[in-house]
Chains A and B, each alone.
Chain A
Amino acid sequence: MTSIRLENVHVNFGKTEVLRDISLEVADGELCVIVGPSGCGKTVTLRAISGLTRPSRGHVYFDDNVIDHVAPGDRNVGMAFQTYALYPNMTVRENWEFPLRAAKRQEELIQERVGQVTGLLDMGPLLNRYPRELSGGQQQRVALGRALVRRPQVFLLDEPMGNLDAKLRVELRASLRKLQMDLGVTTVYVTHDQVDAQALGDKIVVMDVGSVQQVGTPEQIYETPANLFVAGFIGTPRMNFLDGTLKQENGNLVVEHPLFKMDLPEEVVGRLADNARDRKVVMGVRPESIGVSTHPGPQTIPGKIYVCEPQSNEVIIEIELEEEVHLKVRVGRDALGFEPYIDQLVQVQIDPDTLHFFDSVTGVRLS
């Protein structure tokens, strides 16, 4: 049906450049998730795709056709606005019927679609209410529903579930994904929620200050973050970063930190680029790939428990290696094997296999 392509898109508001050279491709039928911190340009990117904002440079393509000069209404996109943009003088039902009536659909089809969306979003008892009589999460579902009742070429969903409770969100996520796959509608989905992103996306786009930091499958983004920003943004709690130096020592590559020194196994060395010798690096290690025990072992680093945040079936422990050097660790309760308490002395075990290396200056991944 439709693939979307942004080619070197720039968007300016006055003098400020809000999107800087965005290039992005979403294949036909794909669900692409855009994540990034607040104000990084996610909404503006969606608006550029829908045509509501005109890029100052660059082009937008649908299926290899440039659509820079196609009016928003003629692009056949269904958009759920972050601000909801519900028609205030219409009931929920009328809001949903509106795009269908605008398209002069048969009454039967209108009722069928509205019924479908009502079920999907669990809005049955609220159909005859006006938007101002709804809670925030209910309004958000109306906004999502209005995008879904149509069968457009493209769905553009701007944080469509940010205001929903956890249970509803999980349910809706699954039904939304199913609907999107059944219809095969190419979708761009903006979210702050990493779980949403991981669960829904065929592809994740990570943005920061108006530019794309990395594009990849959820696994790629998690396992091989392209730079420090992506590494720090994806994953909760965020990845631990430690300064270090890569050194050649009697035939082995080692990474050196004031507190420890680690031999790097062959696979890791193989992954690193050749020029990654004798330089300062930032080591990244995910909280979930650090082991904690009470007894010292080979290559363990001593530390002291600083904060302990119990979760449902795991614990997030912040360990102080020395002043100002903290590591966050996430372990399952069972795997931990002891009851952690503050100021407890523990041993930290880092598997060199799981280390990520980034250039200390540019922040780019070394591999």
Chain B
Amino acid sequence: MAQQSAAAEAVPVTTPATGARDKWFRRTLFIPPLGFLVLMTIFPLLYSLGVSLFNYSLGGTAKFAGFSNYVTLFRDPSFWQVTFITIRIALFAVAIEMVLGVLLGFALHQKLPGMGLFLLIIFLPMMLAPLVVGLFWRFLLDQTFGLVDYLIASVGFKPIPWLTHPRYALLSVIIVDVWQWTPFVVLLTLAGLGTVPPDLEEAAELDRASVWMRFKHIYWPHLRFPLLLALTFRLIDTLKLFDTPFILTGGGPGNLTTTLSLLGYRFHFQFFQISTAAAISWVIVIIINIVANILVPQMQKAPRGSEEAVDTGL
């Protein structure tokens, strides 16, 4: 006994000197990621900002243009149309994903036999490459060969021109995004629900709390953070949506499913207006920044009752 406690006391106490060394060591650890960040993020960003301020076109020399690229862009009504379409897709798709994802998450939270396999199936869409998803849905929704219209026709309705009709094309893009990304919300919902202490659920059950009271008081405190995270991720992701409309509808009919990313792509690779494309990508950056600036501070707010004691009550 006595020997053991002597050995325990022999552990060296951190001295101020080693403390300072520690601090420097920790700071040097920052250098590689910082360098990486500068190289891979800051530089391309600044470069594209530079490009958007010049007039690059194929073959010609770059001339400084100030904000004229932006001005032209903002004067173009189709730019505004595309901006609103992008926002509309983002809002609708994410709203549906959130609601559906939370509902499915609660459904899957129950421990039933065979749940493991079911979960795997649910998460499959998220694991597929966007290209695969796009092609797969293009076949499903195709008016002449598609399975969906085949089923619709077989129950006696008129086939729907999913990908070519103005009314349905946008819906198709949203459906595909919902199909692919609802599992992500389910995943985060399940992660949140997994942190709810079971005895709280039981206490609420014995207290006969209504569904709403349970959601608000038992589950929401544990869901708030993961769901805000899901919301932020999904909004950022859908605001720069590119692959689904690119493969599914090509942005058509007309511009009706063209997103900002797709528009930028067209300016760059079809019209070779590289500076306008860069300006568009900067518009996307700004919109996403606004969204992130609203949502991220929400995440940092502590839920009720978890702050340090303020009112001592004495």
Which residue numbers of A lie inside 8 Å of B, CB to CB?
A: 50, 52, 71-73, 77-79, 81, 83, 85, 87-91, 98-99, 101-103, 125-133, 146, 150
The answer, among A83, A126, A130, A131, for a CB contact under 8 Å with B199, is A83
B contact residues around A126 at 8 Å (CB): 313
Known A85-B199, A132-B306; contact A103-B208, beta-carbon cutoff 8 A: yes
Total chain B interface residues with beta-carbon distance under 8 A: 24
> In whole angstroms, how far apart are the Cα atoms of A71 and B206 in the complex?
9
Given contacts A72-B205, A72-B206, A88-B305, contact A102 B313 (CB under 8 A): no
Choose from B210, B218, B305, B314 the contact partner of A132 (Cβ within 8 Å). Answer: B305
Chain B residues with CB below 8 A from A102, complex form: 207-210, 213
Name the residue on B nearest A76 (C-beta).
B208
Q: Is B66 an interface residue (CB 8 A)?
A: no
Contact residue among A89, A90, A98, A128 (Cβ-Cβ distance under 8 Å from B311)? A128
Nearest Cβ distance between residue B301 and chain A, in whole angstroms?
13
* Cα distance A337–B309 in the bound complex, in angstroms: 55
| CA gap between A101 and B205 in the complex, in Å | 14
Distance to closest chain B CB from A281 (angstroms): 41
In order of increasing CB-CB distance, the 3 nearest A-B pairs are A130-B305, A85-B199, A99-B207
* B202 in the interface (beta carbon within 8 A): yes
User: For B204, B207, B306, B313, which residue has the most chain A Cβ atoms within 10 angstroms?
Assistant: B207
Chain A residues with Cβ below 8 Å from B206 are 50, 52, 72-73, 77-79
Q: How far is the CA of A131 from the CA of B309 in the complex (A)?
A: 10
Query: Contacting B309 at CB < 8 Å: which of A50, A85, A125, A133?
Result: A133
**Contact surface of B with A, Cβ cutoff 8 Å:** 197, 199-200, 202-210, 213, 217-218, 221, 303-306, 309, 311, 313-314
Give CA–CA (A83, B236) in the complex, Å. Answer: 41
| Contact B208 A52, beta carbon cutoff 8 Å | no
With a CB–CB cut-off of 8 A, which chain A residues contact B204? 87
Measured between C-beta atoms, what is the minimum distance from B237 to chain A in Å? 30
| Most chain A beta-carbon contacts within 10 A, residue among B197, B203, B208, B210 | B203
CA of A83 to CA of B199, assembled, Å: 8
A90 partner, pick from B205, B217, B313, beta carbons under 8 A: B217
B-side contacts of A129, CB under 8 Å: 309, 311, 313
| Docked complex Cα distance between A102 and B309 (Å) | 28
- Report the Cα distance A99→B217, complex, angstroms: 12
Q: Within the complex, which residue of B202, B209, B221, B309 is in contact with A52, where a contact is CB–CB below 8 Å? A: B202
> In the complex, are the beta carbons of B314 and A125 less than 8 A apart?
yes
B199 touches A88 (CB 8 A): no
Question: Which residues of B sit under 8 angstroms from A130, Cβ to Cβ?
Answer: 304-306, 309
Return the contact of B306 from the options A72, A78, A89, A128 (Cβ within 8 A): A89
Question: Which residues of B lie under 8 Å from residue A132 when comparing CB positions?
Answer: 305-306, 309
The smallest C-beta distance from A173 to any residue of chain B, in angstroms, reads 24
Which residue of chain B is the closest to A94 with respect to CB atoms?
A: B217
B309 touches A87 (CB 8 A): no
**Closest partner residue, chain B, to A83 (CB atom):** B199
Task: List A contacts of B208 (CB < 8 A).
Answer: 73, 99, 102-103
- Given A87-B204, A150-B207, output 17 extra A-B contacts at Cβ < 8 Å: A52-B205, A73-B205, A77-B206, A83-B199, A85-B200, A85-B202, A85-B203, A88-B200, A89-B303, A90-B217, A98-B209, A99-B207, A102-B208, A127-B313, A129-B313, A132-B305, A133-B309
**A62–B218 alpha-carbon span in the complex (Å):** 29
Alpha-carbon gap, A89 to B220, bound state (A):
10
Q: Which residues of B contact A77 (CB under 8 A)?
A: 206
The answer to whether B203 and A87 touch across the interface, beta carbons within 8 angstroms, is yes
Residue on B nearest A80 in the bound complex, by CB: B203
- Output the least CB separation between A337 and chain B (Å): 40
Q: How far apart are the CA atoms of A150 and B221 in the complex, in Å? A: 25
Which residues from chain B contact A50 at a C-beta distance below 8 Å? Answer: 206
Cβ contact of B213, chosen from A85, A101, A125, cutoff 8 A? A101
**Least distance between B52 CB and chain A CB atoms (Å):** 47
Distance in Å: Cβ of B109 to nearest Cβ of chain A: 17
Q: Which residues of A contact B306 (CB under 8 A)?
A: 88-89, 130, 132
In the complex, the answer to whether B305 meets A89 with C-beta atoms within 8 Å is yes
**Separation of A78 and B200 alpha carbons in the complex (Å):** 14
Least CB distance from A301 to B in Å reads 37
CB distance from A357 to the nearest CB of B (A): 42
A78 vs B208: C-alpha distance when bound (angstroms): 10
Q: Which residues of B contact A146 (CB under 8 A)?
A: 203, 207
The residue in chain B whose Cβ has the minimal distance to the Cβ of A131 is B305
A81 to chain B, nearest CB (A): 6
Contacts of B205 in A (CB 8 A): 52, 71-73
